[in-house]
Homo-oligomer: A and B are copies of this chain.
Amino acid sequence: MDAKHSLLQKLNDKTATIGVLGMGYVGLPLMLRYNAVGYPVIGFDIDQAKVDTVKSGKTYIEHFPSDKIGHAVEQGMDATTEFSRIKEVDAVILCVPTPLSKYREPDLSYVINTLEAALPYMRKGQIISLESTTYPGTTEEELLPRIEKQGLKVGEDIFLVYSPEREDPGNKDFTTATIPKIVGGHTSECLNVGKALYAQVIEKIVPVSSTKAAEMTKLLENIHRAVNIGLVNEMKIVADRMGIDIHEVIDAAATKPFGFTPYYPGPGLGGHCIPIDPFYLTWKAREYGLNTRFIELAGEVNTRMPDYVVEKTQGALNRHKKSLSGSNILILGVSYKKNVDDMRETPSAHIMERLMSMGANIDYSDPHVPVFPDMRKYKFDKSSVELTADNIASYDAVVLATDHDKFDYDLIYQHAKIIIDSRGKYRQISDKVVKA
Q: Point out residues on A near B: beta carbons under 8 Å.
A: 136-137, 166, 168, 171, 173-174, 178-180, 182, 204, 206, 208-210, 212-214, 216-218, 220-221, 223-225, 227-228, 230-231, 234-235, 237-239, 241-245, 248-250, 252-253, 255-261, 281, 284-285, 288, 290, 292-294, 297, 301
CB <8 Å contact, B174 and A242:
no
Q: How many angstroms between the C-alpha atoms of A238 and B179 in the bound complex?
A: 27
Contact of A244 with B212 at beta-carbon distance under 8 Å, contacts A220-B253, A252-B182 already known: yes
Q: In the complex, what residues of B have CB within 8 A of residue A245's CB?
A: 209, 213
CB <8 Å contact, B241 and A288:
yes
Q: How many angstroms between the C-alpha atoms of A217 and B208 in the bound complex?
A: 38
Q: Which of B238, B290, B293 contacts A285 (CB under 8 A)?
A: B238
Q: List 6 A-B contacts (CB under 8 A).
A: A208-B249, A212-B244, A234-B292, A234-B293, A242-B284, A261-B261
Q: How many angstroms between the C-alpha atoms of A43 and B208 in the bound complex?
A: 53
Complex: chain B residue closest to A290, CB-CB: B238
Q: How many angstroms between the C-alpha atoms of A136 and B239 in the bound complex?
A: 9
Least distance between A173 CB and chain B CB atoms (Å): 7
Q: How many angstroms between the C-alpha atoms of A250 and B168 in the bound complex?
A: 20
Q: How many angstroms between the C-alpha atoms of A284 and B208 in the bound complex?
A: 45
CB <8 Å contact, B293 and A297:
yes
Q: How many angstroms between the C-alpha atoms of A238 and B152 in the bound complex?
A: 33
Contact of A208 with B242 at beta-carbon distance under 8 Å, contacts A231-B223, A231-B224, A294-B297 already known: no
CB <8 Å contact, A294 and B231:
yes
Most B C-beta atoms less than 10 A away, residue of A182, A213, A290: A213
Q: In the complex, what residues of B have CB within 8 A of residue A293's CB?
A: 234, 297, 301
Q: In the complex, what residues of B have CB within 8 A of residue A136's CB?
A: 239, 242, 244
Q: In the complex, what residues of B have CB within 8 A of residue A284's CB?
A: 242
CB <8 Å contact, B213 and A249:
yes
Contact of A220 with B235 at beta-carbon distance under 8 Å, contacts A168-B259, A173-B258, A258-B171 already known: yes
Contact of A249 with B220 at beta-carbon distance under 8 Å, contacts A238-B290, A255-B206, A290-B241 already known: yes
CB <8 Å contact, B216 and A249:
yes
Q: In the complex, what residues of B have CB within 8 A of residue A179's CB?
A: 256-257
Least distance between A311 CB and chain B CB atoms (Å): 14
Q: How many angstroms between the C-alpha atoms of A297 and B231 in the bound complex?
A: 11
Q: In the complex, what residues of B have CB within 8 A of residue A173's CB?
A: 257-258
CB <8 Å contact, A206 and B252:
yes
Least distance between A205 CB and chain B CB atoms (Å): 10
Q: How many angstroms between the C-alpha atoms of A290 and B238 in the bound complex?
A: 7
Least distance between A25 CB and chain B CB atoms (Å): 16
Q: How many angstroms between the C-alpha atoms of A182 and B212 in the bound complex?
A: 43
Q: How many angstroms between the C-alpha atoms of A257 and B177 in the bound complex?
A: 12
Q: Which of B212, B242, B260 contacts A212 (CB under 8 A)?
A: B242
Most B C-beta atoms less than 10 A away, residue of A220, A245, A250: A220
CB <8 Å contact, B217 and A253:
yes
Q: In the complex, what residues of B have CB within 8 A of residue A250's CB?
A: 220
Contact of A230 with B137 at beta-carbon distance under 8 Å, contacts A182-B252, A220-B249, A220-B250 already known: no
Complex: chain B residue closest to A263, CB-CB: B224
Q: In the complex, what residues of B have CB within 8 A of residue A285's CB?
A: 238, 241
Q: Which of B171, B228, B281 contacts A238 (CB under 8 A)?
A: B281
